[in-house]
Amino acid sequence: MTAILSQYYEQDSEGGDLTRVLARLKRRDWPDLRDAWDTELRIEPALWDLGIPPGFDLLSEDLQDYQNKSASLKSGHLSKFSLTATQAILYFIAFAPGDTVTVKFRLRAKYPIRARTFKSRAYEYYDPEVSSVARPVQLEVRKR
């Protein structure tokens, strides 16, 4: 069994054109995605398929930083990632039993929009039925 948890932390904007996102998302927020695999077995490899909300860009330098920092880890090492307009796919080498992995990344609002996010999913590469899904949520970006 797996669980995807996402949280959003508000940070001060750097000024300029302020864009506000309801549902506690802001232009400079740090989404935090954690995955906890509730299993006694080692999971290798694992994938996270993250839905990128419409009207947002995922800042890839955050994933690159995590990839570099996790290079020496035996559990939670991000081997590669790929980005499209609507998703980010993260490829992890392995997760040890009971480990919790946290990857922080930023989303930047491109323009005002009201939309539903895409679903996100974590799953075992060789057994995709072993998975967890974060359901879409409604959000709104307003220009202040």
Give the model confidence (pLDDT) of 10-32 as tens digits: 333 333 222 233 333 333 344 45
CB atoms within 10 A of CB 97: 12
Give the model confidence (pLDDT) of 48-78 as tens digits: 898 888 888 889 999 999 999 999 988 889 9
* CA dist 19 → 27, 62, 113, 119, 126 (Å): 6, 21, 10, 23, 41
* CA dist 130 → 25, 44, 85, 124 (Å): 29, 12, 26, 6
* CA dist 107 → 28, 101, 127, 139 (Å): 7, 19, 30, 13
pTM: 0.71
CA-angle at 94, arms to 91 and 100, nearest 5°? 95
Give the model confidence (pLDDT) of 87-117 as tens digits: 999 999 887 777 778 888 888 888 888 888 8
Question: Could you give the domains of the chain?
Answer: 2-143 (2.60.40.690)
